[in-house]
Chain A
Amino acid sequence: MNALQKSLKTAAIAIAIASVSGFAAAAERGITDTSIKIGNIGPFSGKAAMFNPLNYGSVAYMRYVNDMGGVFGRKFDVVLGDTACAQAKGIAAAKKMIYDEKVFMITVNPCSGVAMAIKPTLVKEGMPWSGVSANPKITGSVGSGGTSAPPKYMFHVTPNGYFSGMTMGKFIMTKPNTKKIAIVAHTNDWARGYCDPAIDYIESQGAEVVLDTAMERGSTDATAQVLQIKTKGVDGVLGCLYQPELVVLLKAAHKYKLNTPIIGALGADFGQVVQQVGNAKAVNGVFFQGHLYKDKIGSPALEWGKQILLKYLTKDELPKTGDPTHFYYFGLFNGIGVVEGFRRAGRDLTRDTYIKAIETLSDYDNNISAGRVTITPQQHVGVSDMYFNGLDKDGNEVIFSSWGKALH
């Protein structure tokens, strides 16, 4: 073989290697020079459809980023997929995103049951996932509700149920002389994802959970639960309930003169709950709920978020009242974290570079949440803290950092 032949052979190998590597880069699913394909799945139909504003909040933020020119020249191509909050439909939606739509990542997915059902497929396919489902088993590791290392490609840029439940427990335990707590919860993964960490925390502080009673979805009356609580003489109640049932519990608590603080989980919109209870005496100084954001919804500090939601969502995607609710901001919160990962990953985007970039989020101020975002290779749940909403005796909304301690 002469020198020329050697050179040609070397060049051919080099071209082949370059082609293969170039092809590999170009073949990263869901990525082109001008676009990033994102699968956004959630309950667009079905009985959990009230949670799809979480999906739309993220959509709004990505449309906003697109309007600003995208990330490194790439714009988000968001494909919506309906899970109906049902595991079988969720698996079908996830598979459609992975195999038909060939998305780069899947996001939002508010339903814990669906997240747990699609997790094996996502892990097998190495599909990045950033969700808002509460169940600590989804992304939790030691210290965030799990028992091992977090799944490599799955993360929360928001709190998971473990931290949300823990803060519910912390909040009630800052109330002086709290010794006995009652729990009212749905019998599903979501509710236990909140209440179990709360119970662990309460018991670790020497207090006792004297009642852990069920309230099923669709319940229209909480007489039995409230009368059970009354006979136990508790200092506080944690309600790991969705919005309609939380409203029912608050109404019954007022009717039967329970006179005990009730702390709601994140499955309800604070403002709507207050409105739907429709009785100031039943909520003022009684009802408190986890609050993810750095200030009140509707406050000047979050006005930028409201403007994005109003500008980038259609009339059909917004509530009938036109005013975005808590769940829209929750979706925005997720969207900001997801997009920040793309900004940090740079132009040479692969799934691995994306996850590495997400894992550089450290004390990241997203300008929306109560707690800052930190994700590490050992910890894939970004936020561990939140505030609490409540109403003072005059009915004014107050954000509390602990019992009786207003933020402003």
Chain B
Amino acid sequence: MKTLMPYATLAGEVTFKVAAAKLDGRDLPLSMLSQQERVVALHQVERQKWDEARLDLRVRIPEAELAEGPWSDVVCVAVLTEGVSNLRTVTRLNRSADGTWVGSPTLARDACRTRAELSVSVVATVDGVPGRIIGGSEENWLVDVLARKPVRQRELHINEVDFGENQKPYEWLHAFKDAPWLVETSGDMPTVHLNTGFEGITELLGSGGSTMEKAVRGLIAAQIATEAWTAMFHSAVSDIEVAEDGSLEWPSGWRDWVLRAMLPDVLPDLSPADALSEIHSRRVETSGWNELQPRIQYAASRRARVAKNLGTAIRELDRSDEGDQ
């Protein structure tokens, strides 16, 4: 997939950083910002309630290129968006004397559910057309209003709970109190519920122990992960949407990621778009869906590194046998 622009755009990079932030006018500790992960975490134990976050932005745009190109009325804007809350605020930035663009986009607590994406666009008049987007940041930031640590969430939730305890809001797990774990794939992020009431599971999955215990731990983790990936894949496939014109749309959030990561293992000979179309048609037309299951299983086991974990366990077993003799 390649894109063409109908007018001149910037070749140089647009980069930016959030240098600092304030919550209702008070400085946010710098430890709540991660320059490496490009995340701002706004939830502080000390300040449960706040109304407005103000972000201190520093943007670098290719100044030299701009000066020589066919662009006029150049404006640099910061864009804060969040899909679920229909958040979209666009803040004009100001050019400072040293050529960087600075500004303070604000985020109202009431306007954002979990995390907003912060990007920067450069807008200019090109060939007499005003308001053209001529460049934008590629490495964007996340502003997380719920997080206590500035990290990009890249892991599933793992919820350790005693299924037998009938504890709000997990009463429904009571029905599964003899299961060691359960995978739930609806919602913002899939969750693996680990049943702490299942004797020994916490200790087994914990840290330390003999090499044999570690090998078994790897095996169990791979087993749980395989189930999780399989469940996530099915959930993602069922979320593929058919647009008005009959074309297919990639699902959003983690489902998009799961499909893009696993489809090359499920249907290796197809481009991502073709694989999406193939998997969708097999599912709704019920033909060829069953034949696909082994491939889904395979893709999930690759994600869960079953081969490596099983191999380690077998080797460990061999070694302990030798010790017995």
The judgment on whether A and B are partners is no
B residues with CB within 8 A of A = none
